Structure 1
Amino acid sequence: MSYSKTFICLACSRKPDGRCVAGKELVNGTFGDWIRPVTPGDHSAITNEQRKYPDGYSAVVLDYVTAEFTGQETGGFQSENHLILQPSHWKLAGKEKQPKEILAKLVDTPASLWTNTCLASSKGLNDRVSVAKLPQQDDSLYLIPVTKLITHVEFIDEKRKVRGEFVYNGVKYKLKITDPKFEQHFDKAGTYDISTDFLTISLGEAFEGYAYKLIAAVF
């Protein structure tokens, strides 16, 4: 039996074969837990077609989205995953017009962004976690306050690669950015100091034994 959930979209980031969509559930005017709509498959991505509304527009960050689901995905470390009903029929329930005020109410307060004990990737800093050290059905999404994001942009084989460097609770992180709306502002390689208010941080799916920390949305 399917069920319906409405959530404020706090990430609509790039991933193989589509997008990673995630947000916090809205129930009777109160915000609750994180939810990440997913599809069965290797990458669980939401396609552009699946996130379309009846009018042809697609779900984006700060939309209030109503979607139908068939059940919660079990067995992995992403506790927020819910399988969408297919074919999908997403509906726009509204758009947030005071984002800064709402986001300030929705921030999470983890002591750290998971563990910081793994050797970093070649271009990152505190950017991955050994899957073997992750408990089953753990939190894999956070909205955190950040005042400055040092953005590193490079082009490799004409493909843009963007990473964000920031400090959270006294610890420095340098993570890959997968927010397509933010990325499109950069057409030249370089380092940019960006004033920002909030970041959505996502722990991605396992890859060669690690789950990578990603900046899924920049506010």
Structure 2
Amino acid sequence: MTHAPLIALIDGPLAADTPGLSARTDACALHLRAAESPAALHAAHMAAAIRANAPAARFLGISIFPGSLSTSLATAAEALYRAAESEAEIVHCSFGHTSASHLLTEAVTAVLAAGKLLTASAPARGAPVYPAACEQVFSVQGDARCTPAQWSRLDLPGARFGACAGSPGAAVRGASLAAAHFTGLLAHACMNGGVERMLRAPSFTGRERIVPGGPQAA
């Protein structure tokens, strides 16, 4: 792939003037003031983080958060099916559910069967979440060692990869932003040598551990 990839961003509603926005579809009924909501802010930050590494990336926005950052399993599954049927090459999910759901895993299977790459955020603490815990999904948590242009190979129970989680005090940070940075790196790799080549060259290997001098690989 040498063209800018289309990324299905499953999140809050993206504004019409979002850089790279090709189309938007809403899998849920939006709040009347959704454009000013936490969901819209979250989606905007995800799109910006993705384009930090892939400035030419294009978006298919699929809204699942009506205003607040919560949704139903049925809505999330519907969004994944829409992504599976779309022309998107990469599907991004900065959300997670604590329990395995047949409904959600079937939708993930549909995305992967369609030949798409799927990235999902995974918290650094606690039990694995879905869809990140599904097989063949790029599960990503925050890694303090990483800049926005770096990623790590962790191979932890909850996350295979790590990426930049953002700056302390930022409006949006954590696993959500880390997954978005990683999606941007995937998009960049698609246009520059391929994902397999990217995955052979992590910036860090092994889990992060905090020491007096700063974070290091264990």
Query: TM > 0.5 between the two?
Result: no
Bigger radius of gyration among the two: 1
Structure showing the higher helix proportion among its residues = 2
- TM-score by length of structure 2 reads 0.31
- TM-score by length of structure 1 reads 0.31
Structure showing the higher strand proportion among its residues = 1
Specify which structure has the bigger relative contact order, considering alpha-carbon pairs within 8 angstroms and separated by 6 or more residues.
2
